[in-house]
Amino acid sequence: ETGVTQTPRHLVMGMTNKKSLKCEQHLGHNAMYWYKQSAKKPLELMFVYNFKEQTENNSVPSRFSPECPNSSHLFLHLHTLQPEDSALYLCASSQDIFPLGQYFGPGTRLTVL
Amino acid sequence: KNEVEQSPQNLTAQEGEFITINCSYSVGISALHWLQQHPGGGIVSLFMLSSGKKKHGRLIATINIQEKHSSLHITASHPRDSAVYICAAQDRDDKIIFGKGTRLHILP
């Protein structure tokens, strides 16, 4: 058990929908991350939050909007997505921001129709 | 541009075999990570290395900074080791670049 939970585990949405992915960590960590894993491609780091402050945005399109209300919760708000955004979205946390090892959640499998 | 290359891309072996997965990277790093991804997507961070060698159970990770190369070894492999193993290089700006992964299948 990782201590990092993600909901929902699976999500199917249309291109005009608005949905949110939720991540919660029970490890007392200070840093949280969103990653995207597309089929047959390496993991891509999307956003990094440290002590609730966004420290990195890896040129992610504005249709993805992160929110970190506190150190334990991280959201990824989705709107007007494209079919190519279909992927596994992984949340991770770590005690301190890089370089310490990260604990990953199980991911949300997103399908955009 | 930092690239992380893993080999092999796919590996099938018999239970009990000694497994080696290789990772090469192209620029200076502050740390090298090995991750394990099970079917269904769950990812576990296995090792973080900046030099030398680390061991955890049947897993051993080594890194050669001069050669820009790291290896992940599994001794006495077991079907439950079947997973995708991902190498990730963290550069000196703390940017992390992931390899494409090695899919390992251990046959009983």
- Residue B19, Cβ neighbours under 10 Å: how many? 19
Rounded average pLDDT over A68-74: 93
Contacts A92 to B, Cβ<8 Å: 43
| Minimal-distance CA residue of chain B relative to A10 | B40
Q: Could A104 and B42 be called an inter-chain contact, meaning their C-beta atoms sit closer than 8 Å? A: yes
Query: Which residue among B30, B41, B99 places its CB closest to the CB of A99?
Result: B30
Query: Which residue among B44, B50, B98 places its CB closest to the CB of A43?
Result: B98
Question: What is the model's pLDDT at position A104?
Answer: 80
- Which one, of B6, B26, B17, B32, lies nearest residue B108 by Cα? B17
Q: For residues B34-50, b (16+ Cβ closer than 10 Å) or e, as one string?
A: bbbbeeebbbebbbbbe
Reported confidence tier of residue A100, pLDDT bands at 50, 70, 90: very low
Query: Which of A6-10, A23-27, B89-93 has the lowest average pLDDT?
Result: B89-93
Report how far residue A55's alpha carbon sits from residue A53's, in angstroms, rounded to the nearest whole number: 6
How close does chain A come to B94, measured CA to CA in Å? 6
Query: Which residue among A37, A44, A101 places its CB closest to the CB of B33?
Result: A101
Q: What is residue A96's three-state secondary structure? A: coil
Contacts A99 to B, Cβ<8 Å: 30-31, 48, 50, 90, 94
Q: Could B90 and A40 be called an inter-chain contact, meaning their C-beta atoms sit closer than 8 Å? A: no
Dump pLDDT digits (tens) for B21-34. 999 999 788 888 89
Q: Does the structure show a pLDDT above 70 at B86? A: yes
Q: Does the structure show a pLDDT above 50 at B91? A: yes
